[in-house]
Structure 1
């Protein structure tokens, strides 16, 4: 074990213990008469109001990707890493248009997952299971990113052995064992309750960091000068390692990555889960209006990458792991007790979304694989038991990504998941507005997008890995370098449009649509919503 800062460690453990207790007690918060129902365990009884939903979605969307991977990308490459800031700004106006519609139709028909909606809209089991399996697959590298975030904190704290991988990762396994236990016990109520603590800690730490650290470093002028000097210095390849401003050669990559990520953000199962847990359509709309407040926090978090450069974090260390930049910055700049608070903010900030992600993936497996294909007559209690077990298996799958992929560029975990989940957007978003697309065309488009995107991402190498080493490649026809996920999405959409025209001309059979026009604008007080399939003790 390395040198451990016991003051920081003690503060970190106290916060971790507190949220663990909260996680287990959450099962008693807003307790339902029938807790053994997927609506209750997986969606919190669809009972969360504006503020709970806001904290839940914030805890859901602003993850270790935000606290570790984005600043690490800026620390390593500069302005290119700032794509995460405009993409969240773009995302909310887009999703404001369709998420209230998804909430309404899901509430009327009792849908728990996006694949439930696809099944009901298109009458296609094949398309539904494709959406479900894609959601599960895309979620696992995102959960893995949360593991990397916790591991970065533990590394800087000095916890773990060197040489023996099991001893080095043992504290990480313990942390996720605790996460798995209270997720199993309390379902979505656990991360919803803990999100209050997580968001409060993050805001406190970031406000202190962006004010206090620059004062110690000589001001933001010095910070940007130091970053400019680092990026202008030729790296091992003889070229500059980054830039403060994206140059002409990187503008297509920056723009397509921001736009593609914005389209993907609310396709993730955990994002949809947070929305469907809301108690009303207006709750969803209000949250889409106030969620951009988190984008301000994201912009401040991104600056930590530059602050780490100015503070000399990793300077002169060959092959320095940029994922450690922010935790090391906090360790170097803050007193031990406040460093412990900052580490707790990062650790809890990884645990909350990991819990929601595993619950969302478990809902998909239970509803759209187990109940659809394996046991159609499963009772609500059986569904809930299967979901609890599935949530544990998702975490195991995430560990596989951690062990097999290059952790030094952890942002690729999220970008790979984004590539996959973006391929479900045509079926989901188009289905909320029109029934024009043919179910077989949508399935073919999804397959083309998945195969092309995965194949192209597999072929991207980096200094540390031969495969899945990045998210950008040459865009066919245009010839510019851009985000693979968006290129795959365009191919997906093109195939779906062309095949729909062909299949309609051939009068191919279409599946039954169980939804109606009124379902997409239903309010919580409407009679159709009151008659919706709900658990006995729904709120």
Structure 2
């Protein structure tokens, strides 16, 4: 274990204090009359413009997972680790028309969560509950992944023990409780500036020190050739897994509650259109970040102990003076805090609107909802801390991939539901049960395989499911979430046909076709209600939102 580097720790702490101050000041930034309303506390008043939304969504999507987990996977597995680059390229065209429809119907009907939409669209409290539970469960490992990033940085600086991580999240919990979504929105500016600064310097300085890109790729190729594992080029056997993983991850990304929270906070549809066009800029940075794994190989970087997640922090420590390494570590640390805050807010919104209000207190006022959401956000963070203390994956990216398998099961009701109501509400429930069961069974049967094909763990070893387990004569693997989604869709369609043939009641659609194309200026787009009133939080208002 390295000794504590005082310079790195000092700079890291200074930036952490800076964002802490910003987090508390955010409660006064662009606020309405009160924060005691989910539209204000949980969605920032639904008023963020293009720049704020761009930083917020970017800070939400490109997390500590980007800086730590992806390069660690590239360092250990080679080309397979680059799956994150194509999936962030194709995701924006895929969800372009989805998010603007969700924005419109949510602003007309006052929806705060995707489960609100499902409840109204399919007239199904049960399916809405399943969507809410799925979102909360899928978010927990994603928050835990952010803790992995902070832990990797602390280890590299020589700071050991669990208390620093706990202290960081206690502070995060307090200013998130106080300021809501405005806190991560404001801090995201600092986070992205630090990350872009670090990446620009890294891709210029590190290759020049290592003899150029030819030397970097040559060293990576030599390593994987000698180990007979992975490679700088993707082998034929891994192509199906790579393709399904990239596509599955792209489909899952904007089903996550925190991604939807960021989009609903935008002030109009044009903001989202501009952002979906501009956000691929982050994908370029992600490509360079992934290459840090190959740079670490060329530099002969070794992790702290056996923790592969420390590869990039150690690379920065080896390549840069302590003061700049401290800045880079701050970028990773803040890159964990911003998404963790948004994720906890999104999970809290789900619990409050779709569990607490739906099943525990139907007459809860908006102010009471906001209070419960604040408390729930604290509980979610505690759960994430507990998860990371109990789970020790070889590659932290597995946490996100497992969450992806789970959240994909909401695609039929949320994403497809935005375009058609043909799928029967009973079939959606049956499909969710089938898909979730298949996904968990496949994840359970994925072993952890080490160098030389040695099985290190029999179960829960990743998300690459072998098709040979289905009786096929092949060594190919496929992303478990992709197969689980296919099971979900198949069951949903078949059961829909059966239930419609039996004329089983399908409830009443609580939305109208015009809801899905409404602009901010349309009279149907609702205004913020009085947080002390008992006004229902669904149904169009008679006055436009200002």
Per the TM superposition, whether the score is higher than 0.5 is yes
Distance 2:25 2:263 in 1: 23
Distance 2:165 2:34 in 1: 34
1:520 to 511, 516, 519: 516
Q: Name the residue aligned to 1:163.
A: none
Cα deviation, 1:252-309, whole Å, max 9, x if unaligned, reads: 0000000000000000000000000000011111111111111001001001000111
Q: Name the residue aligned to 1:381.
A: 367
Q: Name the residue aligned to 2:134.
A: 134
Contact 2:127 2:428 (C-alpha < 8 Å) held by counterparts: yes
Q: Equivalences for 1:99-498 in 2 at 5 Å? A: 99-160=99-160, 168-234=161-227, 240-314=228-302, 320-462=306-448, 463=450, 464-475=456-467, 476=470, 480-498=476-494
Contact 2:31 2:44 (C-alpha < 8 Å) held by counterparts: no
SS at match of 1:528: coil
Contact 2:166 2:385 (C-alpha < 8 Å) held by counterparts: no
Q: Name the residue aligned to 2:73.
A: 73
Distance 1:9 1:370 in 2: 42
Distance 1:434 1:490 in 2: 18
**1:312 to partner: Cα distance:** 0.6
Distance 1:341 1:146 in 2: 18
SS at match of 1:378: coil
**1:326 to partner: Cα distance:** 0.2
SS at match of 1:407: coil
Name the CA shift for 1:182/1:532 in 2 (closer, same or farther; >3 Å): closer
Distance 1:530 1:377 in 2: 20
Distance 2:70 2:219 in 1: 19
Contact 1:107 1:532 (C-alpha < 8 Å) held by counterparts: no
Cα deviation, 1:308-342, whole Å, max 9, x if unaligned, reads: 11111118x9x732100000000111000000000
Aligned Cα root-mean-square deviation (Å): 1.6
Distance 1:348 1:219 in 2: 30
Distance 2:338 2:148 in 1: 14
**1:233 to partner: Cα distance:** 1.4
Distance 2:139 2:479 in 1: 19
Name the CA shift for 1:532/1:7 in 2 (closer, same or farther; >3 Å): closer
Number of equivalenced pairs: 525
SS at match of 1:473: strand
Which contiguous aligned blocks of 4+ residues in structure 1 show a shift greater than 6 angstroms?
none
Contact 1:71 1:81 (C-alpha < 8 Å) held by counterparts: yes
Distance 1:441 1:57 in 2: 33
**1:241 to partner: Cα distance:** 2.7
Gaps of 5+ in 2: 451-455, 533-543
**1:375 to partner: Cα distance:** 0.3
Contact 2:73 2:81 (C-alpha < 8 Å) held by counterparts: yes
Distance 2:530 2:432 in 1: 31
Contact 1:109 1:532 (C-alpha < 8 Å) held by counterparts: no
Q: Name the residue aligned to 2:539.
A: none
Q: Name the residue aligned to 1:237.
A: none
Gaps of 5+ in 1: 161-167, 235-239
**1:532 to partner: Cα distance:** 7.3
The TM-score, its normalising length taken from structure 2, stands at 0.94
Q: Name the residue aligned to 2:3.
A: 3
SS at match of 1:409: coil
